[in-house]
Amino acid sequence: MGTEPDWEHAALLVVDVQPDFMPGGALPVSEGDRILAPLRRLLESGRFRHRVATQDWHPPGHISFASRHSGRAPFDTLGLYGHPQMLWPDHCIRGTAGAALHPALPWERVDLILRKGTDPQVDSYSGFRNNWDPRGERPPTGLAGYLRERGVREVYLCGLAREVCVKWTAEDAVEAGFRTRLLWDLTRAVDPGADEALRADLTRRGVEIITSDRLPG
């Protein structure tokens, strides 16, 4: 496959652009609001035939919330089903304003909204697969099949947060066989200080990192 995008077989994946991840939200990502205007322009450009959004959608008392675990604080780590689990502030609780898709974006241009994190006992970062469950498995969300049935071969990722849900989605996209490009300028990180290591890790795993100004058309 060449270096130019194959728009007929490409999908834009917009990850978790929700108020709780914006400055002032329950789990703020530094400068998360800076991606809104350019992402709106990209969605309105009509460049991508296929457009998917993921939405964090937790029930109250989700197992990933620090408040669920006595004596634990946000950003502590514990073992869960044989793997480390970061504990988060309560965020993106289904039906709340913070869990809504951000009102600044034209969501009517999105074909599919995939809600994740809905199981109270299992966290879910990636749009393609949940985190580990009590059986030690990472169940698929169905997104890979949805894209394949529409002829998608390559995906472009943006959204929040860069080193958590965007990263996991990108890695799983590669694993699922999609050519994967991350639009770096349309993401932001909880910890920008880790960006250099993150870029190296993603590149090593087969994710191509570009910026939106490199998109032709």
* Active site (catalytic) residues: 16, 116, 165
Nearest Cα neighbor of 115 from 143, 88, 87 is 143
Helix/strand/coil for 174:
helix
Q: Rounded distance, CA 89 to CA 149, Å?
A: 37
Q: Is residue 181 within a helix (H) or strand (E), and if so which, with residue range?
A: strand 179-188
Helix/strand/coil for 184:
strand
Please give the torsion angle defined by the CA atoms of residues 153, 187, 18 and 44, in that order, rounded to the nearest 10 degrees.
-60
Give the β-pairing of 50-56 and 10-15: parallel
Q: Phi and psi of 83, rounded to 5°?
A: -140, 155
Rounded to a whole number, what is the distance in angstroms from the first to the last CA of the chain? 18
Q: Is residue 187 within a helix (H) or strand (E), and if so which, with residue range?
A: strand 179-188
> What's the burial of 197, exposed, middle or buried (CB within 10 Å: 0-12/13-18/19+)?
exposed
Give the β-pairing of 154-160 and 10-15: parallel
Say how many C-beta atoms besides its own lie within 10 A of residue 91's C-beta: 23
